[in-house]
Structure formats: structure tokens, C-alpha cells
Structure 1
Amino acid sequence: MLHKSVYRLRRKAAACAVCAALLLTPALAASFTDVPQNAWYAAAVNEVVDAGLLSGTSATTFQPSGKVTRAMTVTALWRLAGSPAPKSSQSFSDVPSDAWYSQAVAWAAETGVASGNGKGAFQPGNLVTREQLAVFLYQYAQSQGLDTAQGKLSAYTDGNTVSKWAVDGMEHAVGAGLISGSKGKLSPKANATRAELAVVLERLMTPAVG
């Protein structure tokens, strides 16, 4: 069962997404030739692209099976939060000040949504696994001052393979209904895809009923 604050997170996220949409004019997801209308992620892609949280890889493609990077993840969450201006500049040796993700990285580091590698680098191009995505989501919820959910990893046959540092994050993601398994597995070490990220963001945007 979700905490009431998780419901509030979804309602707040929906409002923030509207603000982000006013700042961006992405291509309509319906124009993506690689997103079949009956795909399990099609509706989510439409929602998040129209809201400006994600964009296509070209005017006609979304690349749903493409892998998610750290830069992509923090930028999507930054937009979900309403694209707030960082209070201070966070300098990483591998984040140029004019990079499309520079403000998002600074915001993520400032709020605790993400951190660098401890050696002055953020590694924006590194791929994100499903358990790493769960941690981003957990830290995002904490950054908004909200309680987190607690799901049961034991319900999945590979729940015990989640890294110790990712357990809290995965429990939150599962308990909040943001990440679900496939055929009884969470596949925590698998790389997250753009389709999966779209579905997660759409779930955050959707106000809970009840």
C-alpha cells in the first residue's frame, strides 16, 4: 500500500510536468515511427513527450529500446520538478557548462538526487541499470521532502540479487508502483531502457485515485 505522501508526489509531479510543457515544444509522440500504437509503452511515451520530460532521438524516432544514461535520467527528473534553477553552480570535470544537461546535473547534485563519483566527475554518459534508476527515484522523493514507499522484494524470484546500496531505492520503486517486474523478476542489473523510463515518468505524472 502506498503512503499518502506518494500520492501527493504524483499529484505534484503532474503539476510540474505541465510547467515543463510550457517551456518545451517537443515533437508529438504519435509521429514516432518506432513506437507502435499498441506497444505497452506507447501511451507513456505520448504523455512524457507531450509534457516535455523526454524528447525523441530525431523528429520521427524515439528509440524505445535505447539505453538510459545518467544525464538523461537527472534531466527528466529535473524537468519533472519544474526545471528549477540551481542555487549554486556544481562543477564536474566532465560536465561542460553549456551542456544540455548541465543545469539538471547541478540541481541533482545540490538536492541529493544524484552525486558524482567522488573524484570530481559525474559520468553523464554512463548507462543506468534498473536498480540505479530505482535509487534515483528514491532520492528524488526524498529531495521533495516526502515519505517513501516500502515494497517487498521477496515477492520477486531475483529480489535477493538487488545490491545492498539499492535495496531502499528498489523497495520504494516497487512499493510506489513505479517499477514492476517481468515474469516474476526485477532484473536489477539490466540496463534501463528509454521505454521503461517513459513508463516510470508517466506513473509519477499520473495522479493516484482514492
Structure 2
Amino acid sequence: MSKKIFTVLLLAVFMLAQFSIASAVAVTGDATITAIPDFSSGANVDIDWAVTGMAAGTKNVLVWAREYAAIPVNYVAADCQLIATIIGTSDASGTFTYDFTLATLALVTGDQVEFTLSVDDQTCATADVPAIDSVMGVNYVDASAPFHIQGNPPSTAVAIPSLDTAACNTFEYWALGRDASVFVTTEAYSGFGAWNPQVTGTFAPPAPMGPASSLLSWTFAFPATATGAWSASVASEDMAGNVNPVDYFRNAVAVVPAELEDCATFSDIAGHEDEVYVRYLATLGLISGFADGTFGPDNTLTRAEASALIEISNGYDDTMLPTVAPAGCDFTDVAASDWFSGWVWQACDDGLMNGVGGGLFDPNNLLTRGQVVTILNNVATSYFANPVPFGGYIATNNVLLNTFFFGAYPTGYGLRQAAWTDVSVGAFYATPVQKAYGWGVAEGTSDTTFSPDQAATRGEFAKMLYRALSRFN
């Protein structure tokens, strides 16, 4: 049997079957498939069926299956199975488990199968083969659990993420899952089902956000009385019921004193959607607020400020910066007396930020969302090409940015995809936008827009930086 090509038309047919309203159009013999409620495991699938208006005499209800092909192929007797033998003119219905192991179909995860019913006075071996266009319901094989990554808070610890502790009492665990082939996006799968989050320990953390989508954001705030060993884990599951083994964010690690200390805070951050990221990064010394005690999470930031933030994450302080412009980084709008000159020159020399053309860096212009993800992509590609110049949190093992470069998940952009209406193919930020979204580092401003030319806020930058520096499994 040839493999199928996943078309929009077939998807529409499949969705009807998925939600238990499969085709009710009668075929020869007045037989119908009323539902295919369970996704196939590769061995069998349950089919609800009904027959009406049967002629007198012994009748066999038969189910036929074939693997979907772009050009339909004939049903064959070897792929037919007997549902029931009925004598008389009574109507009948029921559920039949179609066993793929009894058929000639050689199925693997991602394959799609079409079904139809017929009523005949013959069994499968001699019955009339249904018409080639008589498909009534579609199912597909999904015997593989979802693929997912897990993000732990940024850390420079040598310990593996599941044995690491947090820097202060409030942090985010996050995960991004995909129920589909990691490499072939045209294959059909059942869809992401649940994260099944679990915690064990001497205190109860808040319930997780989700798992309505494949992105899990799980925020914890340790109480001051927390003690003893504590674990947090997920077991991602798809709509077919395939479940991954338990995967730990934290595996029976004792709560340490640092985790009972409040994260750094600011007078204007409480309750803000980006609060956890701002406070955690501030605790690590990767971002800072203003002299009046505020952070300004909704304020914009400049390109010069971004150069400082990314190089601080790279392990630099102001005593380590160049005092003159390196070759290729001598911008006419960056003077040695500017507070940001060393940061700009270092970011340029490391290949993390470029000029805007005409010998300019444009340090005081607002940083856009498209530029943020481009910087992160530059970090990833530069690190992959030559990790030696990198340090700090960027050079830490298991940091997401170190894998951000790879182009194998699933089409070079990560574990999820979006069709952005405001990101043109030729834009400098086109690939970085897709990769940042695909790896869970950045979200869109709507289901169809990324707003790449919109000025990024300080809070947005903090969230993207937290996610990009997360240690992951």
C-alpha cells in the first residue's frame, strides 16, 4: 500500500470521524459508519456501525479498510473483516473492533486509513468489492506519545536540571509538546491531550496553568515553611492515550534556604503578567530596575539597553568591555563617552547585534519584537559556530539557546508552527520569529499576528530571555 499525502479535503473528512459524526450517507446495503470514537493504536480501532432495510435471508455485514493514497486504490478482500452475520430483515447496530493484524495493511504511526461498510450474502473472500469512491470514515494510526521539551529556570549549576534548585522562591517550569512526527509534518496524529502534572513533597504548590494547549506554564511560589524533598513532573499524553514516562522538572530534591527567600521585586511589578520572569532574572543580576524602585515592565527599551542585557547574560560586566570599537563595529552614532559604547561594541564583536546600515547602530531607537528574536537567533547561531567566546548563562549546559540553532524540529523552526499574517518571507526576522515561537521562547500577539515591528516592552524582553536561558530536557 502506498503512503498517504495529507490533504485538506481528507482532513475535513477525518474531522467528521474524529468527533463521532462520521459520514451517515448509506452505501450499498444501507450500512453506515456512525462513529470512529477511538484513535487507532496501529493494531485495532473501534467502529460504530448501523444497518437498516436489509433484505430477507442471511446477510453478512462487512467492513473494508485501505490505506489512504493520493490516487485511490481498490479495496481488496484481504483487508475486509466480518462484522456480523444477520438472518432476517431486522435492523442492527453495534461496535466492531477492526483488527489491523488480520489485514494486509502494514501500518505505522502517522498512517491514515479509510473505512467503508457493505452488506452481502457472501463473506469477505467472495463479496463484491465496494466502489473505489465509497469511503465513509477515516482514522489514522497514532502509537507514539507526544514529543516535548521541558524548561527549568536559568541557572549556571553543573547539576542536571532535574537535580537543580531555584535561585529564589518564585519561578516557572514550562514545557512545549508536539504530537506529530518530529521530522515529517504532513503525517496525521491524534493531537496533544494532557500534561498530567504531578507534585510530591511536604507542601502543595498552586495548580498548573493549562493544559489546554501544548504549551505548559507552571509557576510556583515556595512558602517560607517549605521543607524536605520535593518533586515536580509531567507525563505528556496525546488524544489517542499514548503517554510518555514520567519526566521530572525536579526529582526528589530537598528545598534549600535560597528557595525560601523572596525573589527581587519592584514597586510596579506585582500582579503583572511578566512578574515571575522579571523578578527571577533580577535575582540573578541579569536585569535591573530604576533608581526610584520601579522596573517599568510596560516601558519600551532601546537597542543600546538590549546590547547590555544580552552581554550581561553572556557573563560580561562593565570592567570587561572594549574601550575602543573593534574592527567592523565603529558606528558613527556610538561615541566612547556614551554609557552604552562598550556594550554595543561587545555585542557587535560577538555577532549578536548588527548595525542598521550606513555605519549606524541606532542605539537610542526602540527595540522591536522582531529584533529581540533576531538577537536570540544570532546568539544561537554564533554559539553553535564558535562557543569559545561565550560565558555566563549562555554557555551553561542544557541552555535552550544552545539548541535553538538546530533545524530538525520539525521543519527547522521548533515544535510548533504558525502562519503569521504580518511576517513576510523575506524579512530579516522571518526565520527568528518562527524559531522563537517554535521553541516556546516567544508568543504571538494574536493567533495570526506576531507584531514584529512593534516595540518590545521590558517585561516581554524579560520573558523571552528567561525562556531562552532556561535549562531544558
Match for 1:133 among 336, 353, 372? 372
- 2:155 match: secondary structure: helix
1:153 to partner: Cα distance: 8.3
Q: CA deviation at 1:59?
A: 3.5
Give the aligned residue type for 1:196. Answer: E
- Given candidates 149, 152, 155, the residue that maps to 1:14 is 155
Structure-2 residue corresponding to 1:120: 359
Structure 2 distance, partners of 1:103, 1:2, is 42
- Offset at 1:119? 2.3
Separation in 2, partners of 1:157, 1:40 = 23
Aligned to 1:34: 268
In the aligned structure 2, how far is the partner of 1:29 from the partner of 1:140?
27
Moved over 6 A (4+): 1-4
- Matched positions, count: 193
- Return the offset for 1:3: 11
Match of 1:71 in 2: 304
Query: Residue 444 of structure 2 aligns with which residue?
Result: 181
| CA separation of 1:187 and 1:153: change in aligned 2, threshold 3 A | farther
Structure number with higher helix proportion: 1
* Alignment CA distance shift 1:3-1:114 (3 Å): farther
Partner of 2:429: 166
Q: 1:166 to 1:29 in 2, by over 3 A?
A: same
TM-score by length of 1: 0.77
1:160 shift after superposition: 4.2
Read off the aligned partner of 2:457 and give its amino acid letter. T
Residues in 1 aligned to 2:155 and 2:308: alpha-carbon distance in whole angstroms = 16
Runs of 5+ in structure 2 lacking a partner? 1-145, 158-262, 385-401, 407-412
Query: Aligned-pair distance for 1:15?
Result: 2.3
- CA distance in structure 2 between the aligned counterparts of 1:2 and 1:74, rounded to whole angstroms: 34
In structure 1, give the amino acid aligned to 2:438: G
- Alpha-carbon shift at residue 133 of structure 1 (Å): 1.1
Asked if 1:82 is matched to 2:315, the reply is: yes
The answer as to whether partners of 2:374 and 2:429 remain within 8 angstroms in 1 is yes
RMSD (CA atoms): 3.2
Asked if 1:58 corresponds to 2:291, the answer is yes
Aligned counterpart, 1:22: none
CA contact (8 A) 1:45 1:198 kept: yes
2:373 pairs with 1:109: no
Q: 2: distance between equivalents of 1:2 and 1:126?
A: 40
The structure that has the greater radius of gyration is 2
Q: What amino acid is aligned across from residue 267 of structure 2 in structure 1? A: T
Judging changes above 3 Å, is the alpha-carbon distance between structure 1 residues 170 and 67 closer, same or farther for their aligned structure 2 residues?
Answer: same
Deviations along 1:88-140, one digit per CA (max 9) or x if unpaired, are 73332222224332222111111211122332221111111111111111001
